[in-house]
Structure 1
Amino acid sequence: MRHPRVGVAILTMGTRPAELSALLASVAAQTTPAARVVVVGNGSLLPALPDGVTGVELPENLGVSGGRNAALARLREFGDVDVVVDLDDDGLLISPDVFTRLSELYASDERLGVVSFRIADERGRTQRRHVPRLRATDPMRGGLVTTFLGGGHGLSLRMLDEIGGWPAPFFYAHEETDLAWRALDAGWKVRYEPELVLQHPWTSPTRHAVFHRMVARNRVWLAKRHLPALLVPVYLGVWTAVTVVRTRSAAGLRAWVGGFAEGLRTPCPPRRPMRWSTVWRMTRLGRPPII
Protein backbone atom coordinates (compact mmCIF):
# COMPACT_ATOMS: atom_id res chain seq x y z
CA MET A 1 0.00 0.00 0.00
CA ARG A 2 1.59 3.29 -1.09
CA HIS A 3 -0.66 5.60 0.91
CA PRO A 4 -2.82 3.52 3.27
CA ARG A 5 -6.06 5.22 4.25
CA VAL A 6 -7.19 4.66 7.84
CA GLY A 7 -10.75 3.97 8.90
CA VAL A 8 -11.68 3.90 12.58
CA ALA A 9 -14.23 1.57 14.20
CA ILE A 10 -15.47 2.11 17.77
CA LEU A 11 -18.03 0.01 19.63
CA THR A 12 -20.06 1.43 22.49
CA MET A 13 -22.95 0.31 24.67
CA GLY A 14 -23.88 3.85 25.59
CA THR A 15 -22.44 3.67 29.11
CA ARG A 16 -19.33 5.82 28.57
CA PRO A 17 -20.41 9.02 26.79
CA ALA A 18 -17.67 11.19 28.31
CA GLU A 19 -14.93 8.67 27.45
CA LEU A 20 -16.30 8.21 23.93
CA SER A 21 -16.29 11.98 23.39
CA ALA A 22 -12.67 12.23 24.55
CA LEU A 23 -11.64 9.33 22.32
CA LEU A 24 -13.29 10.90 19.26
CA ALA A 25 -11.49 14.17 20.02
CA SER A 26 -8.16 12.31 20.13
CA VAL A 27 -8.98 10.66 16.79
CA ALA A 28 -9.80 14.06 15.27
CA ALA A 29 -6.47 15.43 16.57
CA GLN A 30 -4.38 12.96 14.56
CA THR A 31 -1.97 14.63 12.13
CA THR A 32 -2.87 12.02 9.52
CA PRO A 33 -6.68 12.22 9.55
CA ALA A 34 -8.85 9.14 9.38
CA ALA A 35 -10.66 8.74 6.07
CA ARG A 36 -13.72 7.50 7.96
CA VAL A 37 -14.82 7.11 11.56
CA VAL A 38 -17.67 4.73 12.42
CA VAL A 39 -19.22 4.40 15.89
CA VAL A 40 -21.47 1.39 16.48
CA GLY A 41 -24.10 1.45 19.21
CA ASN A 42 -24.05 -2.23 20.18
CA GLY A 43 -27.67 -2.68 21.16
CA SER A 44 -27.87 0.91 22.37
CA LEU A 45 -28.71 4.39 21.15
CA LEU A 46 -25.84 6.69 20.26
CA PRO A 47 -25.25 10.15 21.65
CA ALA A 48 -24.83 13.11 19.30
CA LEU A 49 -21.66 12.51 17.29
CA PRO A 50 -19.24 15.07 15.83
CA ASP A 51 -19.56 16.08 12.19
CA GLY A 52 -17.96 13.54 9.89
CA VAL A 53 -18.50 10.60 12.27
CA THR A 54 -20.90 7.91 11.06
CA GLY A 55 -23.18 6.25 13.59
CA VAL A 56 -24.62 2.75 13.32
CA GLU A 57 -27.23 1.67 15.88
CA LEU A 58 -27.73 -2.08 16.21
CA PRO A 59 -31.09 -3.26 17.60
CA GLU A 60 -29.35 -5.83 19.82
CA ASN A 61 -25.95 -6.38 21.36
CA LEU A 62 -23.99 -8.58 18.94
CA GLY A 63 -20.92 -8.75 21.14
CA VAL A 64 -17.43 -7.61 20.24
CA SER A 65 -17.21 -9.81 17.13
CA GLY A 66 -20.64 -9.01 15.74
CA GLY A 67 -20.34 -5.31 16.50
CA ARG A 68 -16.96 -5.05 14.83
CA ASN A 69 -18.27 -6.89 11.79
CA ALA A 70 -21.06 -4.30 11.55
CA ALA A 71 -18.50 -1.48 11.70
CA LEU A 72 -16.36 -3.24 9.12
CA ALA A 73 -19.31 -3.64 6.76
CA ARG A 74 -20.06 0.09 7.00
CA LEU A 75 -16.44 1.03 6.36
CA ARG A 76 -16.35 -1.26 3.34
CA GLU A 77 -19.40 0.50 1.90
CA PHE A 78 -17.46 3.77 1.74
CA GLY A 79 -14.78 2.12 -0.41
CA ASP A 80 -11.97 4.45 0.67
CA VAL A 81 -10.34 2.59 3.57
CA ASP A 82 -7.22 0.38 3.49
CA VAL A 83 -6.54 -0.13 7.20
CA VAL A 84 -9.20 -0.52 9.89
CA VAL A 85 -8.33 0.69 13.40
CA ASP A 86 -10.47 -0.76 16.21
CA LEU A 87 -10.46 1.24 19.45
CA ASP A 88 -12.12 0.62 22.83
CA ASP A 89 -14.60 3.37 23.67
CA ASP A 90 -12.86 4.07 27.00
CA GLY A 91 -9.44 4.37 25.37
CA LEU A 92 -7.54 7.48 24.32
CA LEU A 93 -4.90 8.19 21.68
CA ILE A 94 -2.37 10.26 23.62
CA SER A 95 -0.06 10.94 20.66
CA PRO A 96 -1.17 12.75 17.47
CA ASP A 97 1.06 10.66 15.21
CA VAL A 98 -0.48 7.20 15.76
CA PHE A 99 -2.16 7.04 12.35
CA THR A 100 0.91 8.48 10.63
CA ARG A 101 3.19 5.83 12.08
CA LEU A 102 0.64 3.11 11.46
CA SER A 103 0.31 4.10 7.80
CA GLU A 104 4.09 4.04 7.43
CA LEU A 105 4.24 0.51 8.82
CA TYR A 106 1.65 -0.74 6.33
CA ALA A 107 3.22 1.15 3.43
CA SER A 108 6.58 -0.53 4.12
CA ASP A 109 5.32 -4.15 4.24
CA GLU A 110 2.63 -5.48 1.92
CA ARG A 111 2.21 -8.67 4.01
CA LEU A 112 1.63 -6.85 7.27
CA GLY A 113 -1.83 -7.90 8.36
CA VAL A 114 -2.25 -6.83 12.00
CA VAL A 115 -0.57 -4.16 14.12
CA SER A 116 -1.21 -4.44 17.84
CA PHE A 117 -0.98 -1.24 19.89
CA ARG A 118 0.43 -1.09 23.41
CA ILE A 119 -2.23 -0.64 26.08
CA ALA A 120 -1.11 1.59 28.96
CA ASP A 121 -2.93 3.26 31.81
CA GLU A 122 -2.71 6.95 32.71
CA ARG A 123 0.54 6.26 34.62
CA GLY A 124 2.12 4.53 31.62
CA ARG A 125 1.82 1.02 33.09
CA THR A 126 1.09 -1.94 30.81
CA GLN A 127 -0.54 -5.00 32.36
CA ARG A 128 1.21 -8.31 31.75
CA ARG A 129 -1.92 -9.70 30.05
CA HIS A 130 -1.72 -6.85 27.53
CA VAL A 131 1.64 -7.95 26.15
CA PRO A 132 0.92 -10.44 23.33
CA ARG A 133 3.77 -12.88 24.01
CA LEU A 134 4.68 -15.40 26.67
CA ARG A 135 7.70 -13.49 28.00
CA ALA A 136 5.85 -10.34 28.97
CA THR A 137 8.30 -8.70 31.38
CA ASP A 138 9.26 -5.99 28.88
CA PRO A 139 6.19 -4.35 27.29
CA MET A 140 8.47 -2.14 25.16
CA ARG A 141 9.87 -5.07 23.17
CA GLY A 142 8.03 -5.07 19.87
CA GLY A 143 8.17 -7.38 16.90
CA LEU A 144 6.30 -10.23 15.26
CA VAL A 145 3.83 -12.10 17.50
CA THR A 146 1.03 -14.66 17.20
CA THR A 147 -1.93 -12.70 18.59
CA PHE A 148 -2.93 -9.10 19.29
CA LEU A 149 -4.82 -6.82 21.65
CA GLY A 150 -8.49 -6.09 21.07
CA GLY A 151 -8.45 -2.64 22.69
CA GLY A 152 -6.35 -1.00 19.99
CA HIS A 153 -5.04 -2.40 16.72
CA GLY A 154 -4.89 -1.97 12.95
CA LEU A 155 -6.12 -4.52 10.41
CA SER A 156 -5.31 -4.64 6.71
CA LEU A 157 -8.54 -4.65 4.73
CA ARG A 158 -6.84 -6.75 2.03
CA MET A 159 -6.09 -9.33 4.70
CA LEU A 160 -9.69 -9.29 5.92
CA ASP A 161 -10.93 -9.68 2.36
CA GLU A 162 -8.83 -12.86 2.13
CA ILE A 163 -9.37 -14.49 5.54
CA GLY A 164 -12.80 -13.14 6.52
CA GLY A 165 -13.94 -10.96 9.39
CA TRP A 166 -14.49 -11.49 13.09
CA PRO A 167 -15.93 -14.84 14.33
CA ALA A 168 -19.46 -13.63 15.14
CA PRO A 169 -20.49 -16.71 17.24
CA PHE A 170 -17.66 -15.97 19.71
CA PHE A 171 -19.47 -12.81 20.92
CA TYR A 172 -16.66 -12.01 23.38
CA ALA A 173 -13.27 -13.60 24.25
CA HIS A 174 -10.52 -15.05 22.04
CA GLU A 175 -11.91 -13.41 18.87
CA GLU A 176 -8.51 -11.74 18.32
CA THR A 177 -6.68 -15.07 18.52
CA ASP A 178 -9.11 -16.65 16.07
CA LEU A 179 -8.46 -13.87 13.57
CA ALA A 180 -4.70 -13.88 14.19
CA TRP A 181 -4.40 -17.63 13.62
CA ARG A 182 -6.28 -17.33 10.32
CA ALA A 183 -4.01 -14.46 9.30
CA LEU A 184 -0.83 -16.37 10.14
CA ASP A 185 -2.03 -19.46 8.30
CA ALA A 186 -2.65 -17.32 5.20
CA GLY A 187 0.89 -15.93 5.33
CA TRP A 188 0.18 -12.53 6.90
CA LYS A 189 2.25 -10.96 9.69
CA VAL A 190 1.06 -9.89 13.13
CA ARG A 191 3.22 -7.17 14.74
CA TYR A 192 3.22 -5.75 18.26
CA GLU A 193 4.25 -2.10 18.07
CA PRO A 194 4.70 -0.64 21.59
CA GLU A 195 5.32 2.89 20.32
CA LEU A 196 1.67 3.04 19.22
CA VAL A 197 -0.17 3.59 22.50
CA LEU A 198 -3.82 3.46 23.48
CA GLN A 199 -4.28 4.84 26.98
CA HIS A 200 -6.80 2.69 28.79
CA PRO A 201 -7.85 2.35 32.46
CA TRP A 202 -6.24 -0.44 34.50
CA THR A 203 -8.89 -3.18 34.53
CA SER A 204 -9.50 -6.86 35.22
CA PRO A 205 -11.07 -9.08 32.54
CA THR A 206 -13.27 -10.67 35.20
CA ARG A 207 -15.26 -7.41 35.40
CA HIS A 208 -17.38 -8.90 32.61
CA ALA A 209 -20.11 -11.13 34.04
CA VAL A 210 -19.76 -13.68 31.25
CA PHE A 211 -15.96 -13.83 31.40
CA HIS A 212 -15.35 -17.36 32.71
CA ARG A 213 -18.00 -19.07 30.56
CA MET A 214 -17.09 -17.26 27.34
CA VAL A 215 -13.37 -17.77 27.82
CA ALA A 216 -13.80 -21.52 28.30
CA ARG A 217 -16.36 -22.07 25.52
CA ASN A 218 -14.42 -20.02 22.99
CA ARG A 219 -11.14 -21.69 23.91
CA VAL A 220 -12.67 -25.02 22.91
CA TRP A 221 -14.15 -23.54 19.73
CA LEU A 222 -10.77 -22.03 18.85
CA ALA A 223 -9.11 -25.44 19.08
CA LYS A 224 -11.89 -27.22 17.17
CA ARG A 225 -11.82 -24.65 14.38
CA HIS A 226 -8.10 -24.21 13.82
CA LEU A 227 -5.77 -26.77 15.38
CA PRO A 228 -4.55 -29.99 13.76
CA ALA A 229 -6.34 -32.92 15.40
CA LEU A 230 -3.23 -34.05 17.29
CA LEU A 231 -2.92 -30.68 19.02
CA VAL A 232 -6.54 -30.23 20.11
CA PRO A 233 -6.35 -32.39 23.29
CA VAL A 234 -2.88 -31.00 24.11
CA TYR A 235 -4.05 -27.39 23.84
CA LEU A 236 -7.21 -27.97 25.87
CA GLY A 237 -5.37 -30.04 28.46
CA VAL A 238 -2.74 -27.35 29.00
CA TRP A 239 -5.35 -24.62 29.37
CA THR A 240 -7.45 -26.71 31.74
CA ALA A 241 -4.44 -27.15 34.00
CA VAL A 242 -3.55 -23.44 33.79
CA THR A 243 -7.13 -22.44 34.64
CA VAL A 244 -7.37 -24.74 37.67
CA VAL A 245 -4.12 -23.30 39.03
CA ARG A 246 -5.00 -19.66 38.35
CA THR A 247 -8.69 -19.47 39.26
CA ARG A 248 -9.31 -18.38 42.85
CA SER A 249 -13.11 -18.27 42.68
CA ALA A 250 -15.18 -21.44 43.06
CA ALA A 251 -18.08 -19.76 41.25
CA GLY A 252 -15.73 -18.69 38.47
CA LEU A 253 -14.36 -22.22 38.11
CA ARG A 254 -17.91 -23.65 37.93
CA ALA A 255 -18.77 -21.15 35.20
CA TRP A 256 -15.57 -22.10 33.37
CA VAL A 257 -16.41 -25.82 33.51
CA GLY A 258 -19.89 -25.06 32.17
CA GLY A 259 -18.45 -23.04 29.31
CA PHE A 260 -15.91 -25.76 28.52
CA ALA A 261 -18.69 -28.36 28.33
CA GLU A 262 -20.73 -26.03 26.13
CA GLY A 263 -17.79 -25.68 23.76
CA LEU A 264 -17.39 -29.45 23.51
CA ARG A 265 -21.03 -30.17 22.74
CA THR A 266 -21.73 -27.27 20.37
CA PRO A 267 -20.24 -26.76 16.91
CA CYS A 268 -18.60 -23.56 15.71
CA PRO A 269 -17.83 -24.14 12.04
CA PRO A 270 -15.99 -23.95 9.80
CA ARG A 271 -13.17 -26.30 10.76
CA ARG A 272 -10.05 -25.31 8.86
CA PRO A 273 -7.02 -26.74 10.69
CA MET A 274 -3.88 -24.69 10.25
CA ARG A 275 -0.93 -26.11 8.35
CA TRP A 276 1.90 -27.71 10.28
CA SER A 277 4.18 -25.09 8.73
CA THR A 278 2.08 -22.46 10.53
CA VAL A 279 2.47 -24.38 13.80
CA TRP A 280 6.23 -24.30 13.29
CA ARG A 281 6.16 -20.60 12.36
CA MET A 282 4.26 -19.81 15.57
CA THR A 283 6.70 -21.92 17.57
CA ARG A 284 9.62 -19.96 16.13
CA LEU A 285 7.84 -16.74 17.09
CA GLY A 286 7.83 -17.94 20.67
CA ARG A 287 4.28 -19.20 21.15
CA PRO A 288 3.38 -22.63 19.77
CA PRO A 289 -0.40 -23.11 19.53
CA ILE A 290 -0.62 -25.29 22.62
CA ILE A 291 -0.59 -22.42 25.17
Structure 2
Amino acid sequence: MTRPRVGVAVLTMGNRPAELAALLDSVAKQDEAATRVVVVGNGSPLPDLPDWATAVELGENLGVSGGRNVAMDRLRAYGDVDVLVDLDDDGLLVDADVFRRIADLYEQDPSLGIVSFRIADESGETQRRHVPRLRSSDPMRRGEVTTFLGGGHALSMAMLERIGGWPEEFFFTHEETDLAWRALDDRWKVLYEPALLLQHPRTSPARHAVYYRMTARNRVWLAKRHLPAPLVPVYLGTWTVLTLARTRSFGGLRAWAGGFAEGVRQPCGVRRPMRWSTVWRMTRLGRPPVI
Protein backbone atom coordinates (compact mmCIF):
# COMPACT_ATOMS: atom_id res chain seq x y z
CA MET A 1 0.00 0.00 0.00
CA THR A 2 1.05 3.64 -0.38
CA ARG A 3 2.32 5.56 2.63
CA PRO A 4 -0.65 5.97 5.03
CA ARG A 5 -1.66 9.57 5.69
CA VAL A 6 -2.32 10.46 9.33
CA GLY A 7 -5.10 12.78 10.49
CA VAL A 8 -5.49 13.98 14.08
CA ALA A 9 -8.69 14.58 16.06
CA VAL A 10 -8.78 16.37 19.41
CA LEU A 11 -11.96 16.73 21.46
CA THR A 12 -12.17 19.49 24.07
CA MET A 13 -14.75 21.11 26.34
CA GLY A 14 -12.86 24.39 26.36
CA ASN A 15 -11.71 24.12 29.97
CA ARG A 16 -8.04 23.24 29.28
CA PRO A 17 -6.72 25.94 26.94
CA ALA A 18 -3.11 25.74 28.19
CA GLU A 19 -3.02 21.94 27.93
CA LEU A 20 -4.63 22.04 24.49
CA ALA A 21 -2.03 24.55 23.28
CA ALA A 22 0.79 22.35 24.58
CA LEU A 23 -0.69 19.28 22.88
CA LEU A 24 -0.98 21.11 19.54
CA ASP A 25 2.62 22.27 19.90
CA SER A 26 3.67 18.64 20.30
CA VAL A 27 1.62 17.72 17.22
CA ALA A 28 3.37 20.47 15.21
CA LYS A 29 6.81 19.15 16.26
CA GLN A 30 6.29 15.69 14.76
CA ASP A 31 8.97 14.76 12.24
CA GLU A 32 6.30 13.41 9.87
CA ALA A 33 3.47 15.93 9.76
CA ALA A 34 -0.20 15.08 10.04
CA THR A 35 -2.18 15.62 6.86
CA ARG A 36 -5.07 17.16 8.80
CA VAL A 37 -5.76 18.25 12.37
CA VAL A 38 -9.34 18.78 13.57
CA VAL A 39 -10.20 20.24 16.98
CA VAL A 40 -13.80 19.85 18.13
CA GLY A 41 -15.29 22.09 20.81
CA ASN A 42 -17.80 19.75 22.43
CA GLY A 43 -20.56 22.17 23.40
CA SER A 44 -18.09 24.98 24.04
CA PRO A 45 -16.26 27.71 22.09
CA LEU A 46 -12.68 27.08 21.10
CA PRO A 47 -9.65 29.24 21.89
CA ASP A 48 -7.53 30.60 19.07
CA LEU A 49 -5.97 27.71 17.14
CA PRO A 50 -3.00 27.49 14.77
CA ASP A 51 -3.98 28.15 11.18
CA TRP A 52 -3.18 24.52 10.25
CA ALA A 53 -5.88 23.20 12.61
CA THR A 54 -9.55 23.03 11.62
CA ALA A 55 -11.94 24.28 14.31
CA VAL A 56 -15.39 22.71 14.76
CA GLU A 57 -17.64 24.15 17.49
CA LEU A 58 -20.68 22.13 18.54
CA GLY A 59 -23.73 23.77 20.08
CA GLU A 60 -24.13 20.98 22.63
CA ASN A 61 -22.00 18.37 24.34
CA LEU A 62 -22.40 15.15 22.35
CA GLY A 63 -20.21 13.14 24.70
CA VAL A 64 -16.96 11.44 23.81
CA SER A 65 -18.58 9.17 21.24
CA GLY A 66 -20.63 11.85 19.51
CA GLY A 67 -17.82 14.39 19.46
CA ARG A 68 -15.34 11.91 18.05
CA ASN A 69 -17.81 10.95 15.34
CA VAL A 70 -18.03 14.59 14.29
CA ALA A 71 -14.22 14.78 14.03
CA MET A 72 -14.11 11.47 12.14
CA ASP A 73 -16.73 12.65 9.64
CA ARG A 74 -14.86 15.91 9.05
CA LEU A 75 -11.60 14.06 8.39
CA ARG A 76 -13.36 11.58 6.12
CA ALA A 77 -14.87 14.44 4.12
CA TYR A 78 -11.39 15.72 3.22
CA GLY A 79 -10.62 12.40 1.55
CA ASP A 80 -6.90 12.49 2.32
CA VAL A 81 -6.66 10.66 5.66
CA ASP A 82 -5.97 6.92 5.98
CA VAL A 83 -5.34 6.70 9.74
CA LEU A 84 -7.20 8.72 12.39
CA VAL A 85 -5.32 9.53 15.61
CA ASP A 86 -7.47 10.56 18.61
CA LEU A 87 -5.68 12.48 21.38
CA ASP A 88 -6.98 13.72 24.75
CA ASP A 89 -6.80 17.49 25.02
CA ASP A 90 -4.71 17.26 28.22
CA GLY A 91 -2.27 14.76 26.73
CA LEU A 92 1.18 15.45 25.30
CA LEU A 93 3.26 13.73 22.64
CA VAL A 94 6.68 13.51 24.26
CA ASP A 95 8.46 12.04 21.23
CA ALA A 96 8.65 13.58 17.76
CA ASP A 97 8.37 10.31 15.83
CA VAL A 98 4.85 9.22 16.84
CA PHE A 99 3.10 9.81 13.51
CA ARG A 100 6.00 8.31 11.58
CA ARG A 101 5.86 5.15 13.70
CA ILE A 102 2.09 4.94 13.19
CA ALA A 103 2.42 5.28 9.43
CA ASP A 104 5.11 2.56 9.48
CA LEU A 105 2.84 0.18 11.38
CA TYR A 106 -0.10 0.59 9.03
CA GLU A 107 2.12 0.48 5.96
CA GLN A 108 3.56 -2.86 7.09
CA ASP A 109 0.23 -4.48 8.03
CA PRO A 110 -3.00 -3.63 6.15
CA SER A 111 -4.98 -5.85 8.57
CA LEU A 112 -4.12 -3.52 11.45
CA GLY A 113 -7.28 -1.83 12.64
CA ILE A 114 -6.46 -0.16 15.97
CA VAL A 115 -3.20 0.86 17.65
CA SER A 116 -3.27 1.76 21.33
CA PHE A 117 -0.69 4.14 22.78
CA ARG A 118 1.00 3.74 26.15
CA ILE A 119 -0.23 6.35 28.63
CA ALA A 120 2.08 7.54 31.41
CA ASP A 121 2.05 10.47 33.82
CA GLU A 122 4.74 13.15 34.18
CA SER A 123 6.91 10.78 36.21
CA GLY A 124 6.71 8.08 33.54
CA GLU A 125 4.39 5.82 35.56
CA THR A 126 1.52 3.98 33.87
CA GLN A 127 -1.56 3.23 35.95
CA ARG A 128 -2.67 -0.41 36.02
CA ARG A 129 -5.99 0.48 34.39
CA HIS A 130 -4.05 1.79 31.39
CA VAL A 131 -2.52 -1.61 30.62
CA PRO A 132 -5.06 -3.17 28.22
CA ARG A 133 -4.70 -6.82 29.19
CA LEU A 134 -5.49 -9.10 32.12
CA ARG A 135 -2.91 -10.57 34.51
CA SER A 136 -0.16 -8.22 33.39
CA SER A 137 0.85 -4.90 34.89
CA ASP A 138 3.84 -4.50 32.57
CA PRO A 139 3.16 -1.38 30.46
CA MET A 140 6.09 -2.17 28.14
CA ARG A 141 4.74 -5.51 26.89
CA ARG A 142 3.81 -5.07 23.25
CA GLY A 143 1.30 -7.21 21.41
CA GLU A 144 -2.22 -7.86 20.20
CA VAL A 145 -4.99 -7.10 22.70
CA THR A 146 -8.79 -6.97 22.79
CA THR A 147 -9.34 -3.34 23.75
CA PHE A 148 -7.50 -0.02 23.63
CA LEU A 149 -6.98 3.26 25.48
CA GLY A 150 -9.21 6.22 24.69
CA GLY A 151 -6.64 8.88 25.53
CA GLY A 152 -4.33 8.07 22.62
CA HIS A 153 -4.91 5.66 19.77
CA ALA A 154 -4.94 5.28 15.99
CA LEU A 155 -7.80 3.92 13.88
CA SER A 156 -7.77 2.67 10.31
CA MET A 157 -10.21 4.72 8.22
CA ALA A 158 -10.77 1.62 6.04
CA MET A 159 -11.80 -0.26 9.18
CA LEU A 160 -14.18 2.52 10.25
CA GLU A 161 -15.81 2.45 6.82
CA ARG A 162 -16.61 -1.24 7.38
CA ILE A 163 -17.62 -1.36 11.05
CA GLY A 164 -18.95 2.16 11.63
CA GLY A 165 -17.88 4.81 14.10
CA TRP A 166 -18.28 5.37 17.82
CA PRO A 167 -21.49 4.26 19.62
CA GLU A 168 -23.16 7.62 20.22
CA GLU A 169 -25.67 6.15 22.68
CA PHE A 170 -22.81 5.45 25.10
CA PHE A 171 -21.88 9.16 25.55
CA PHE A 172 -18.77 8.08 27.49
CA THR A 173 -17.27 4.93 29.13
CA HIS A 174 -16.75 1.63 27.32
CA GLU A 175 -17.04 3.19 23.88
CA GLU A 176 -13.54 1.86 23.16
CA THR A 177 -14.59 -1.69 24.05
CA ASP A 178 -17.62 -1.45 21.78
CA LEU A 179 -15.44 -0.33 18.87
CA ALA A 180 -12.75 -2.93 19.58
CA TRP A 181 -15.24 -5.81 19.73
CA ARG A 182 -16.69 -4.79 16.36
CA ALA A 183 -13.20 -4.52 14.88
CA LEU A 184 -12.19 -7.95 16.15
CA ASP A 185 -15.38 -9.51 14.85
CA ASP A 186 -14.56 -8.02 11.43
CA ARG A 187 -11.11 -9.68 11.70
CA TRP A 188 -9.02 -6.55 12.27
CA LYS A 189 -6.07 -6.54 14.66
CA VAL A 190 -5.86 -4.42 17.83
CA LEU A 191 -2.24 -3.69 18.79
CA TYR A 192 -0.87 -2.23 22.02
CA GLU A 193 2.34 -0.39 21.10
CA PRO A 194 4.17 0.99 24.17
CA ALA A 195 6.69 2.81 21.97
CA LEU A 196 3.89 5.29 21.22
CA LEU A 197 3.76 7.41 24.36
CA LEU A 198 1.09 9.90 25.41
CA GLN A 199 1.96 11.80 28.57
CA HIS A 200 -1.23 12.34 30.57
CA PRO A 201 -1.94 13.60 34.11
CA ARG A 202 -2.80 10.90 36.63
CA THR A 203 -6.57 10.79 37.05
CA SER A 204 -9.37 8.55 38.29
CA PRO A 205 -12.35 7.78 36.04
CA ALA A 206 -14.62 8.03 39.08
CA ARG A 207 -13.90 11.78 39.22
CA HIS A 208 -16.87 12.18 36.89
CA ALA A 209 -20.18 12.43 38.79
CA VAL A 210 -22.02 10.11 36.40
CA TYR A 211 -19.19 7.58 36.09
CA TYR A 212 -20.88 4.78 38.07
CA ARG A 213 -24.21 5.10 36.24
CA MET A 214 -22.64 5.26 32.79
CA THR A 215 -20.31 2.35 33.55
CA ALA A 216 -23.15 0.06 34.55
CA ARG A 217 -25.53 1.13 31.78
CA ASN A 218 -22.93 0.80 29.06
CA ARG A 219 -21.73 -2.61 30.22
CA VAL A 220 -25.29 -3.87 29.90
CA TRP A 221 -25.48 -2.32 26.45
CA LEU A 222 -22.19 -3.95 25.42
CA ALA A 223 -23.60 -7.34 26.35
CA LYS A 224 -26.95 -6.71 24.65
CA ARG A 225 -25.32 -5.42 21.45
CA HIS A 226 -22.43 -7.83 20.96
CA LEU A 227 -22.38 -11.01 23.03
CA PRO A 228 -23.82 -14.40 22.07
CA ALA A 229 -26.87 -15.02 24.26
CA PRO A 230 -25.25 -17.61 26.60
CA LEU A 231 -22.46 -15.17 27.49
CA VAL A 232 -24.69 -12.21 28.41
CA PRO A 233 -25.52 -13.39 31.97
CA VAL A 234 -21.94 -14.58 32.50
CA TYR A 235 -20.46 -11.21 31.52
CA LEU A 236 -22.95 -9.17 33.55
CA GLY A 237 -22.73 -11.51 36.53
CA THR A 238 -18.93 -11.31 36.57
CA TRP A 239 -18.95 -7.50 36.49
CA THR A 240 -21.64 -7.31 39.16
CA VAL A 241 -19.51 -9.37 41.53
CA LEU A 242 -16.38 -7.31 40.73
CA THR A 243 -18.23 -4.03 41.24
CA LEU A 244 -19.64 -5.11 44.61
CA ALA A 245 -16.16 -6.19 45.72
CA ARG A 246 -14.35 -3.05 44.53
CA THR A 247 -16.77 -0.19 45.20
CA ARG A 248 -16.50 1.38 48.65
CA SER A 249 -19.04 4.15 48.12
CA PHE A 250 -22.71 3.51 48.90
CA GLY A 251 -23.65 6.41 46.66
CA GLY A 252 -21.55 4.91 43.90
CA LEU A 253 -23.26 1.51 44.26
CA ARG A 254 -26.68 3.13 44.19
CA ALA A 255 -25.79 5.03 41.01
CA TRP A 256 -24.37 1.82 39.53
CA ALA A 257 -27.61 -0.07 40.26
CA GLY A 258 -29.62 2.70 38.63
CA GLY A 259 -27.43 2.58 35.55
CA PHE A 260 -27.71 -1.21 35.35
CA ALA A 261 -31.51 -0.97 35.41
CA GLU A 262 -31.38 1.77 32.79
CA GLY A 263 -29.28 -0.43 30.53
CA VAL A 264 -31.76 -3.30 30.83
CA ARG A 265 -34.80 -1.09 30.11
CA GLN A 266 -33.51 1.17 27.38
CA PRO A 267 -32.66 0.28 23.76
CA CYS A 268 -29.00 0.31 22.82
CA GLY A 269 -28.95 0.14 19.04
CA VAL A 270 -28.90 -2.85 16.71
CA ARG A 271 -27.91 -6.20 18.19
CA ARG A 272 -25.18 -7.94 16.21
CA PRO A 273 -23.72 -10.72 18.37
CA MET A 274 -20.11 -11.59 17.63
CA ARG A 275 -19.18 -14.92 16.12
CA TRP A 276 -18.03 -17.72 18.39
CA SER A 277 -14.77 -17.69 16.44
CA THR A 278 -14.27 -14.13 17.69
CA VAL A 279 -14.95 -15.26 21.26
CA TRP A 280 -12.26 -17.92 20.83
CA ARG A 281 -9.85 -15.42 19.27
CA MET A 282 -10.31 -13.05 22.23
CA THR A 283 -9.81 -15.94 24.63
CA ARG A 284 -6.52 -16.85 22.93
CA LEU A 285 -5.46 -13.19 23.21
CA GLY A 286 -5.93 -13.46 26.97
CA ARG A 287 -9.30 -11.79 27.53
CA PRO A 288 -12.48 -13.74 26.77
CA PRO A 289 -15.54 -11.46 26.55
CA VAL A 290 -16.86 -12.44 29.96
CA ILE A 291 -14.64 -10.04 31.97
Q: Which amino acid aligns with 1:273?
A: P
**TM norm structure 2:** 0.99
Q: Which one-letter code corresponds to 2:144 in the other structure?
A: L
Secondary structure in structure 1 of the residue aligned to 2:124: coil
Query: For structure 1, which runs of at least 5 residues remain unmatched after alignment?
Result: none
Offset from partner CA, 1:171-226 (integer Å, 9 cap, x none): 00000000000000000000000010000001100111110000000000000000
Give the Å deviation of 1:137: 1.6
Distance apart, 1:277 and its partner CA: 0.2
AA partner of residue 165 (structure 2): G
Equivalence for 1:71:
71
d(CA) in 2 for partners of 1:66, 1:269: 14
User: What is the number of equivalent residue pairs in this alignment?
Assistant: 291
Cα distance in 2 between the residues matched to 1:248 and 1:35: 46
Q: Which amino acid aligns with 1:23?
A: L
- C-alpha deviation, 1:269, in angstroms: 1.5
Within-5 A mapping of 1:206-217:
206-217=206-217
* Structure 2 unaligned spans of 5+: none
Which digits, 9 at most, give the CA deviation of each residue in 1:225-265, with x for residues without a partner?
00000000000000000000000100001000000000001
**Alpha-carbon separation, structure 2, partners of 1:70 and 1:136:** 35
Give deviations 1:134-193, integer Å, cap 9, x for gaps.
Answer: 123211001000000000000000000000000000000000000000000000000000
Q: Residue in 1 aligned with 2:93?
A: 93
Runs of 4+ residues over 3 Å off in structure 1: none
Report the equivalent of 1:35. Answer: 35
2:116 alignment counterpart: 116
Partner of residue 146, structure 2: 146
Q: Which residue of 1 aligns with 2:129?
A: 129
- 1:17-28 alignment runs, 5 A limit: 17-28=17-28
The equivalent residue for 1:50 is 50
Find the residue that maps to 2:181 and give its secondary structure. helix
In structure 1, what is the equivalent of residue 262 of structure 2? 262
The answer on 1:182 being equivalent to 2:157 is no
- Secondary structure of the structure 1 residue equivalent to 2:230: helix
Q: Displacement, 1:77?
A: 1.0
Q: How does 1:184-203 map to 2 (within 5 A)?
A: 184-203=184-203
For residue 137 of structure 2, give the secondary structure of its aligned residue in structure 1: coil
- The alpha-carbon deviation at position 103 of structure 1 amounts to 0.6
Q: Which residue of 2 aligns with 1:62?
A: 62
Name the structure 2 match of 1:285.
285
Output the CA distance in 2 between the equivalents of 1:120 and 1:136. Answer: 16
C-alpha separation in 2, matches of 1:220 and 1:70: 25
Measured in 1, the distance between the counterparts of 2:80 and 2:210 equals 36
- Aligned position for 1:165: 165
C-alpha displacement at 1:268, in angstroms? 0.6
* Cα shift at 1:2: 2.4
CA distance in 2 between partners of 1:135 and 1:4 (Å): 34
The SS at the match of 2:201 is coil
1:21 Cα deviation after fit: 0.1
- TM-score under structure 1 length normalisation: 0.99
Q: CA RMSD in A?
A: 0.5
Amino acid at match of 1:38: V
- Aligned residue for 1:81, secondary structure, equals coil
Cα drift, residue 289 of structure 1: 0.1
